[in-house]
Amino acid sequence: MNKKKIYPWYFVVAPLLLYVALFVLPSLIGVGYSFTDWSSYSDEISFVGWENFAEVFSPKRDYLDAILNTLWFTVASTAIKTVLALLFALLLSEGVRALNLHRAVLYLPAVLSVLIVGIVFTSILDPSNGLVNEALRAVGLDGLAQRWLVDPDLAMWSVIAVDVWRGMGYIMTILLVGILSISPTYNEAAQLDGASAWQRFRHVTLPLLRPTLAVTIVLNVLYGLKVFDIIYVLTNGGPGHRTEVLYTAVFQEFSSGRYAVGTALSTVMLVIMVIVGVFMIRTLTRNEVQE
């Protein structure tokens, strides 16, 4: 395809129809079902209005906790992964020997199956004979041995730590490419003017890296809002719903045959993603205009 040629408008009709048929239409149908009593217990479907949404936001149920857990997981994992990925990207950009080897080692967890990661870390974090607690006991730090995936106060942090370990290398690779694409003349000029390493990072590298950082933050936020697999494999939402997120709650509702409540939860997640997406796009667009 010639990139310089202007093609007729009807070239987009087929892809647009395909997108509407496979993505937009199923989403709208799901929103419609969220206002019904659709379930596996009856062949009849009746309109119930906002009843399912009232149940979702009822303090008597745990759905509100699942929403808050989803938001907390998204914010915490995005912040930690971005900071650590940026730190490692900066270190690897400073002429480290065997750069490709270090990059491959840090990126490797991102290509591993979530199932494999979950099985391995379930064993590593086992409170009785897991590798972490055994290592702590071996060096005389028995008091630090914890029930990592069972303690209600530690379970979410443990899941976040595993997710950071798995996803940090992917974000680091994107940031490293962004750093290496910055012309060295900018830093050289700043260095000649007497700027310290921190000043060069703050006033040269960080502003030029902002578009790349924006991309990684968007990717992390979207992943965090849709998280399911790592939670399901490690804790299945436990203990006591302390790591329950929206999509594990949706899975539980569909598994129990309460399809309408499950679609209502999915609709809530859709609304949250739209609000977050619009906010992030407006923020990024405003920053670009100011620059």
Residue 102, Cα to own-chain centre: how many angstroms? 24
- Tens digit of pLDDT for each residue in 230-244? 999 999 888 888 999
Of 165, 173, 206, 188, the closest CA to residue 81 belongs to: 165
* Domains of the chain with bracketed CATH: 36-290 (1.10.3720.10)
pLDDT at 290: 43
Rg (CA), the chain: 23
Give the global pTM. 0.87
CB 253 within 8 A of CB 262: yes
CA distance 42 to 135: 54
pLDDT tens, residue by residue, 246-277: 999 999 999 999 999 999 999 998 888 888 87
pLDDT 10s digits, 59-110? 877 888 999 999 999 999 999 999 999 999 888 887 666 667 777 788 888 8
Count CB atoms within 10 A of the CB of residue 112: 11
